[in-house]
Structure 1
Amino acid sequence: MTSRDVILARIRRAGAAGATGPTGAEAPIPRDYLRVHGERTPAESADLLAANLAEYRAHVHRTADDGLPALLARLLARRGTRTVLVPAGLPLYWLADAAATHVPDRAAATPYEFDAVDSVVTGCALAVAETGTLVLDGGPAQGRRRITLIPDHHVCVVRVPDQVVDSVPQALERLDPTRPLTWISGPSATSDIELDRVEGVHGPRTLDVILATTPTPPTAAPHTQP
């Protein structure tokens, strides 16, 4: 018997011993970890998200919802974007001020066509404050996964506070596990054995994140009896 056989046998024994409870029923999985680390207001959660995104070298911008078209136009112009890839369900007013030519997300488009596009603009499904992570699930404003992996510049819009959660456990409760989930923490990067950071290896080299504050709906006045 080899060392490999010994190790695998021990794993099997440990798994069999812990898989069932005393009555033979499946043993419950302990979930005694912290669901969230601390209590925060929505504004504090947005601040933590911005700080962690910046730590990952994403460029973070803030605006009210009505300032989104102007900000997107400035970011694309600053980048020198001539063509921008647009998911089918992206709100039309987002790019109303942008001068770049819109490129639709066509199923027949090749990776080479997407590689020739300067930028892509999408929404997101959720953003996780504690990890500085954006989650895409292929929704209408996000498009298919490949449109956010091939272009060199990705602009992602996060609606605050609706799309911001504090922790990964909170995010998992709101996400559909059957959808194609993409978890993004900063621009694509890797480091070799000498710790030389290289960006744009398996995704966008530059990630701009816009935290767009959505207007708070007015509170109805309490009804009083005459």
Structure 2
Amino acid sequence: MSSKDIVLGRVRRALAGAPADTTPYEQAIARAYVREHGRRTTEQTVDLLAEHLADYRAHVHRTDAAGLAGLIARLLTDRGARRVLVPAGLPPQWPAAVDATRVEDRPDATHDDLDSVDSVVTGCALAIAETGTIVLDAGPAQGRRRITLVPDHHVCVIRAPGQVVASLPQALERLVPTRPLTWISGPSATSDIELQRVEGVHGPRRLDVVLLDDAG
């Protein structure tokens, strides 16, 4: 018997005499909290996201569909990226101008294989303006979670305003809780006891966020 079996057995015994609760989940807990802080236009919501991303030391860029491929190529060139990982489901026109070796996202790739990648380009599930948070859910344009945690440079494309929500409650309504969710607020960073900030400890050292105008 494993430790897990022991713990779950204790939980079952503790709940054995508890009355059954047939209240639907969405009604079981009162959710009267504020769903959005303040009133903003769609454009103001996107601007707030950009502001908070910049506060977290992400590098924010804006473009339309016509300029996206060139911008991604420039960002990778500026980083000197020679090996770039591109998820299989990423729209092919996004990295069309990239002049670097494309690395396939293989299930059997080791951490050393991923560490040899200079940059990764992905989409996202959505982004939250009030917190400056990007959420990945391993969708086709994002690939598996680890490909955005090991390489040192991450270029993340957000369709704006389509993938931008104002608040966390609005985000949770659109996310599937059983998917592997990664919540990103700026490049990976931590501080030591003297409050010296160190970036790139458990994720990318540099995060380039591209706000792709999809208003049309």
TMscore range, shorter length: 0.7 to 0.9
With the length of structure 2 as denominator, give the TM-score of the two structures.
0.87
- Per the alignment, residue 161 of structure 1 pairs with 161
Q: Give the letter aligned to residue 129 of structure 1.
A: A
User: C-alpha distance in 2, partners of 1:74/1:106?
Assistant: 26
Pairing of 1:103-142 with structure 2 (within 5 A): 103-142=103-142
Pairing of 1:8-19 with structure 2 (within 5 A): none
- Per the alignment, residue 71 of structure 2 pairs with 71
User: C-alpha distance in 2, partners of 1:44/1:66?
Assistant: 23
User: C-alpha distance in 1, partners of 2:59/2:167?
Assistant: 21
SS at match of 1:48: helix
- Per the alignment, residue 11 of structure 2 pairs with none
Q: Is the 8 A contact 2:90 2:140 kept in 1?
A: yes
Q: Is the 8 A contact 2:160 2:215 kept in 1?
A: no
Q: Give the letter aligned to residue 81 of structure 1.
A: A
Query: Unmatched 5+ residue regions in structure 2?
Result: 1-17
1:52 matched to 2:52? The reply is: yes
Q: Is the 8 A contact 1:138 1:181 kept in 2?
A: yes
Q: Give the letter aligned to residue 93 of structure 1.
A: Q
Tell me the CA shift for residue 28 of structure 1: 4.1
Identity %: 68
Q: Is the 8 A contact 1:65 1:215 kept in 2?
A: no
Q: Is the 8 A contact 2:162 2:215 kept in 1?
A: no
- Per the alignment, residue 31 of structure 2 pairs with 31
Cα deviation 1:87-109 (Å, max 9, x = unaligned):
01011111111101110100111
Pairing of 1:65-214 with structure 2 (within 5 A): 65-214=65-214
Q: Is the 8 A contact 2:35 2:167 kept in 1?
A: yes
User: C-alpha distance in 2, partners of 1:54/1:163?
Assistant: 18
SS at match of 1:53: helix
SS at match of 2:154: strand
Number of matched residues? 195
C-alpha spacing 1:35/1:100, structure 2 compared with 1 (3 Å): same
Cα deviation 1:3-45 (Å, max 9, x = unaligned):
xxxxxxxxxxxxxxxx99xxx9879423221111011111111
Q: Give the letter aligned to residue 65 of structure 2.
A: D
Q: Give the letter aligned to residue 51 of structure 2.
A: A
Q: Give the letter aligned to residue 55 of structure 2.
A: E
Q: Is the 8 A contact 1:63 1:210 kept in 2?
A: yes
Tell me the CA shift for residue 176 of structure 1: 0.4
Q: Is the 8 A contact 1:60 1:208 kept in 2?
A: yes
Q: Is the 8 A contact 2:65 2:213 kept in 1?
A: yes
Query: Unmatched 5+ residue regions in structure 1?
Result: 1-18, 217-226
Aligned-residue RMSD, C-alpha: 1.7
Q: Give the letter aligned to residue 174 of structure 1.
A: R
C-alpha spacing 1:25/1:70, structure 2 compared with 1 (3 Å): closer
Q: Give the letter aligned to residue 211 of structure 2.
A: L
Q: Give the letter aligned to residue 66 of structure 1.
A: A
Cα deviation 1:127-176 (Å, max 9, x = unaligned):
00000000000000000000000000000000011100000000000000
User: C-alpha distance in 2, partners of 1:99/1:90?
Assistant: 17
